Chains A and B, each alone.
Chain A
């Protein structure tokens, strides 16, 4: 009874032109997005979790286990607890950005956060941001949470990989409290890609119709 008080979430997400929807809620996958003037292509690739007998390549790729003070001071207080070398993160031949939950990487690009909160308000072209300071991807072994098996004890296995800190600020996860708080930053970001092209991107929503977190509705403009 009293069904009218409640809502029935729709199964599908209504995607408009210049928008894409990605279920990036998986802890163990990166979703690679290749933008074109006529659309986009998304490819999912798993994060390697199988342990190698010895470090691969430069020796930094792998899973870093950290303890976080999730019931106390939060994520800023953490301790390194272990490293497991793994294979390198596989990537498709062509891609512009990749998303994993609240994390974003670029394919050798750099990003700038604008004060705009609507794609419609952006200047005509990216030339307006010629003097802006763009930030490249930086090494990170704290944020790409991959192994959640011991999360309730504050232990999380993270992928060591380069991510873009500016783009990743579009969705912030903070602890405590438990469960974590997700904060959406709806500013538009400008991305300078490694081929010299520019794109504009904005996170509009991070929930699926049924409320699953890290299901991303992204507005984009490419080329910009």
Chain B
């Protein structure tokens, strides 16, 4: 069956290729958007994540949700967690063990969602999620979110989708912005961005610093499960520089470097430190008007260490280093069709004091091809096939994808797609050996198989007048989910429990999303988004209900936003924004007693909640912006701070100032 699927994809690609007898020119990713209905909803914006080629959002064959720079500014978000929770239904950030952040997006955990910055993967994980705090929102042009399996283009860890953060390009001769925000709990956020642009060189430097105290929160008596009494704050530094060199119209080189530091004081004498060092070089060559080649190298190192204050020692206990080389060739036809062929190589190194051998590494290489066939003005079909090889397990993986877009009338797009997703076992999952505070020893499993998912999706979007509508539905069938299984004793030892990484039985996730946006001429705009997620919890291969270490997705979630913009004079403008989210209750199966699993499991009920934010943004002249926000406007205080409760103990006043120094002159 799988063989015939591959043949079908290959055949479709060849047929489409043979029909392209005319050649076209490269699309201009920097093309100015056309004013009108399309620009109102950013439909003329260029997106790249769905196909790895520039496509106008309104014509993208893969449904792509875009969070624009304007959305980010309105949300006043510090990092990607703040932003996604405000902007998207169906996404939730909760705590895993030891207050480590875990994301759930439409039923897929952070392990199944691939985060990228300008198309590059991120090193490092904690409880299988990337460090979301390093993804700050300074200098972000937009975020592209593609839900559903995208492994045919991006490989492992893209079973649930891709979130690609696109950074800004410098467009002015020079810019300098300084900004600050203060809030409760001694929260401070300072940022600076300095950009220059010459004839061939442009550069953007960003420096950001955040701080927030530990917050001690109150809980009622007799909680149903684990609660949080202290929300740990942190101190971060984030420095990024991006240099672009365009020696000719056909050649572009981009170099980047970054440093990230975060300190969390969970124990006063041993603060935990997290560092990331990143760098990269990318070359883009427009070989002809129809052919484009992209070659890049990316380095990312994510470290964890403990600072022993008394001994004045900073001791590293984790390091993940990724060196990746990528190449991508695109050929464009005048009909709009595109052939993409690429290959990648990545060396993945892991040092972890809890690995049996302390270090492990592997090489991953892949090759892929995609044909984006624009059949006529109504139909577009995209097929992709990818081959991945993993040196540690000496295993290979083929991944197909097929999507069709039909445009029966202007401004109406119907999409139907199938994609395979997969996640190869991480080195940690294969070789871990960790004594978890006397409860059990978490053991790696070298015999793990890849987790594979089959994603079927359908969507429709329509724009008319002041309104834009989107409807989407999906179904995922997941085989061999990678996680920890049922605790067990070894033969002859009934004292020490072991918890092994394992592959679980098949399970499914299905759901849908509805979104409506409106923009009126009087300055008002509104957006309402609803997501339904049904995550059927997996069992182990023997059919046992397992303890879910991550709380599953909430079935219903909704985000809403209303904005009012008014420029009163040339020197004074005002924007009022009200945004909020509603998340329904959710149940999870958990052990009654982690120390005595013979007591079985019970179903824990996590309550629904709603959370709102009101902000007032005042523009004074061209240079000054003052933001005043009331976060948690309804003063919601969880009775119990469970692992998926909002991190709050009440209303919070935030005041910010941003100055564009270059606009003062």
Any A CB within 8 A of the CB of B156: no
Q: A150 touches which one: B214, B227, B595 (CB < 8 A)? A: B595
Q: Which residues of B contact A151 (CB under 8 A)?
A: 437-438
CB distance from A161 to the nearest CB of B (A): 22
Bound together, the chains give a CA A41 to CA B393 distance in angstroms of 53
From 254 to 307 in chain B, residues with beta carbon under 8 angstroms from any chain A beta carbon are 266-270, 275, 277, 301, 303, 305-306
Q: Interface segment, A17-25, A91-99, A109-117, A178-186?
A: A178-186
What DSSP secondary structure best describes chain B's contact surface? Answer: loop
Say whether, besides A153-B593, A177-B229, A181-B268, A211 and B311 are in contact (CB < 8 Å): yes
Any B CB within 8 A of the CB of A148: yes
Any A CB within 8 A of the CB of B5: no
Q: Contact: B595 with A6, CB < 8 Å?
A: no
Q: A211 touches which one: B301, B315, B439 (CB < 8 A)? A: B315
Q: Contact: A209 with B311, CB < 8 Å?
A: yes
Say whether, besides A177-B266, A207-B269, A7 and B230 are in contact (CB < 8 Å): no
Q: Contact: A6 with B305, CB < 8 Å?
A: yes
Q: Which residues of A contact B595 (CB under 8 A)?
A: 149-150, 152-153
Q: Contact: A176 with B216, CB < 8 Å?
A: yes
* Size range of the chain A interface in the assembly: 20 to 34
Give per-residue flags for B434-472: 1 if the beta carbon is below 8 A from chain A beta carbons, else 0. 000111000000000000000000000000000000000
Q: Which residues of A contact B308 (CB under 8 A)?
A: 9, 207, 211
From 310 to 367 in chain B, residues with beta carbon under 8 angstroms from any chain A beta carbon are 310-311, 313-316, 321
Any A CB within 8 A of the CB of B489: no
Bound together, the chains give a CA A179 to CA B310 distance in angstroms of 17
Q: Which residues of B contact A5 (CB under 8 A)?
A: 275, 314, 316
CB distance from A213 to the nearest CB of B (A): 8
Q: A72 touches which one: B229, B269, B303 (CB < 8 A)? A: B229
> B277: nearest residue on chain A (CB-CB)?
A2
Bound together, the chains give a CA A138 to CA B269 distance in angstroms of 29
Q: B267 touches which one: A150, A181, A210 (CB < 8 A)? A: A181
Q: Contact: B313 with A209, CB < 8 Å?
A: yes
Any B CB within 8 A of the CB of A32: no
Q: Contact: B315 with A7, CB < 8 Å?
A: yes
CB distance from A138 to the nearest CB of B (A): 28
From 143 to 179 in chain A, residues with beta carbon under 8 angstroms from any chain B beta carbon are 148-153, 176-179
What DSSP secondary structure best describes chain A's contact surface? Answer: loop
Bound together, the chains give a CA A206 to CA B437 distance in angstroms of 20
Bound together, the chains give a CA A205 to CA B312 distance in angstroms of 12
Q: Which residues of A contact B227 (CB under 8 A)?
A: 71
Bound together, the chains give a CA A206 to CA B275 distance in angstroms of 27
> A211: nearest residue on chain B (CB-CB)?
B308
Say whether, besides A152-B594, A178-B229, A211-B270, A72 and B314 are in contact (CB < 8 Å): no
CB distance from B560 to the nearest CB of A (A): 34
Any B CB within 8 A of the CB of A130: no
The residue among B230, B303, B313, B316 with the most chain A CB atoms within 10 A of its own CB is B313
Q: Contact: B303 with A9, CB < 8 Å?
A: no
Say whether, besides A7-B314, A149-B595, A211-B315, A182 and B230 are in contact (CB < 8 Å): no
Q: B277 touches which one: A1, A179, A207 (CB < 8 A)? A: A1
Q: Contact: B267 with A206, CB < 8 Å?
A: no
Q: Contact: B593 with A6, CB < 8 Å?
A: no
Q: Which residues of A contact B175 (CB under 8 A)?
A: none
The residue among B219, B266, B315 with the most chain A CB atoms within 10 A of its own CB is B315
Q: Contact: B315 with A179, CB < 8 Å?
A: no
Q: Which residues of A contact B311 (CB under 8 A)?
A: 9, 205, 207, 209, 211
Which 10 A/B pairs are nearest by Cβ-Cβ distance? A177-B230, A7-B313, A6-B316, A71-B229, A176-B229, A211-B308, A150-B595, A207-B310, A181-B268, A7-B314
Residues of chain B at the chain A interface (Cβ within 8 Å): 214, 216, 219, 221, 223, 226-230, 232, 266-270, 275, 277, 301, 303, 305-306, 308, 310-311, 313-316, 321, 437-439, 593-595
A-B contact pairs, 8 of them (CB 8 A): A2-B301, A5-B314, A7-B315, A70-B229, A71-B219, A151-B438, A152-B594, A211-B315
Q: Beyond A71-B228, A182-B268, list 16 extra A-B contacts (CB 8 Å).
A: A2-B277, A2-B303, A71-B227, A72-B219, A72-B221, A72-B229, A148-B437, A148-B438, A152-B226, A177-B216, A205-B310, A205-B311, A207-B308, A207-B311, A210-B315, A211-B306
